[in-house]
Amino acid sequence: MNILVTGSKGMVGTALVNNLKNIRDGKNKTRSKIKIEEIYEYDINSTAEELVTYCQKADFIFNLAGVNRPENPDEFMKGNFGFASDLLNKLKKYKNKAMIMLSSSIQATCIGRYDNEYGRSKKAGEKLFFDYAKETGAKLAVYRFPNLMGHSKPRYNSAVSTFCWAVANDEEFTVNDRNTELELLYIDDLVEGMFDLLEGKEVHCEFEGVEIVFQESGRYCCVPVTHKVALGEIVDLLQQFKEQPTTLMMPKMPEGSFAKKLYTLYLTYLPTDKFKYVLKMNVDDRGSFTELVHTEDCGQVSINISRPGITKGQHWHNSKWELFIVVAGHGVIQERNINTGETVEFEVSGDKIEAVHMIPGWTHNIINLSETENLVTVMTCNEVFNPSKPDTFFEVV
């Protein structure tokens, strides 16, 4: 299959083309049903001759090209309607009935604040494509996207991108109303929706006003995974992300959550000098102990370095539990039940990485058996250390 992507240098086009290439090159094994031979990238700098060639050879077309921030509002119709007419006329000229995906907007409903030149140009574009499909018999998938959330130029047409950029780069920004709610479609979810379309698994819908109504026979298609989020929640999360290198606290980010997607997007706006940050190492003559990350519900992760011959630990906990994972060096972990006196001992090595539970009610230690090498241990704990309630009691194993 040969695929044409118009608007290939935009936010959606860039992400889609990158991931189509992964499929074409066999790097994405989860979408092996999609067979791609060529990907034609058309954008504002492409030539008319290239478009002619692409319109002759394409088997599937993602029409993402459009204008959203012209200097003159009249350019909406020229950019969003004019190019579409040119594309469809060329397809008709070469009798190419390739399936077309049209990127439209919820603003095409022209309801309320969407009753503007941009919305009207999008609605006119939809009609043009529906008429074309009816006339030629070509298959058509029209998507009315809500606000999109992906890496794009800040201070342009995405408030989320602007907030991410501003927070990451210590720039000022303004939130006029924290309660304003946005419906957001994350770029990776959009791309997966396009892959579903290529596999014939697209979701159909209709619209009641601006609300999606899922309907198998619907004229429109949609990506069903969106997030309705208030501006206040977005900027609060971004501030937590910004403070994370200092607090070490990572907010809850369950699979598929808005927070997880926002954090990914935020990272793409970090200046290169913030790609790394210093961690506080607690160093003494025994070695060092460094906390790596804290979480709101799963405790913390730390790294412990023990110098040759050193014993660390020698304490027990009531409710706190830990996992010790030696990743370099050679040592032994000892544990003793403080009530029964039962003991266990585990020889550990970075050559055979294993996880060892530190059981509540068992005093424990870790001993570096090497005379020359450090013992490096990753330690996870079910709670962030609280100096006012340490739940840690000295007792030699």
Gap between the Cα atoms of 10 and 46, Å rounded? 13
The angle formed by the CA atoms of residues 164, 155 and 182, to the nearest 5 degrees, is 65
The H helix count followed by the E strand count for the chain is: 9, 23
And the tokens for 285? Answer: 């003559």
Q: Is 118 a catalytic residue?
A: yes
Name the DSSP class of 120. Answer: H
Catalytic, out of 40, 54, 118, 143: 118
Strand partners, 250: 295
Distances in Å between the Cα of 228 and the Cα atoms of 61, 87, 147, 178, 325 are 30, 34, 10, 13, 40
59: nearest Cα among 96, 102, 22: 96
Q: Are 290 and 303 in contact (CB under 8 A)?
A: yes
What is the rounded distance in angstroms from the CA atom of residue 334 to the CA atom of residue 299?
A: 23
Active site residues: 118
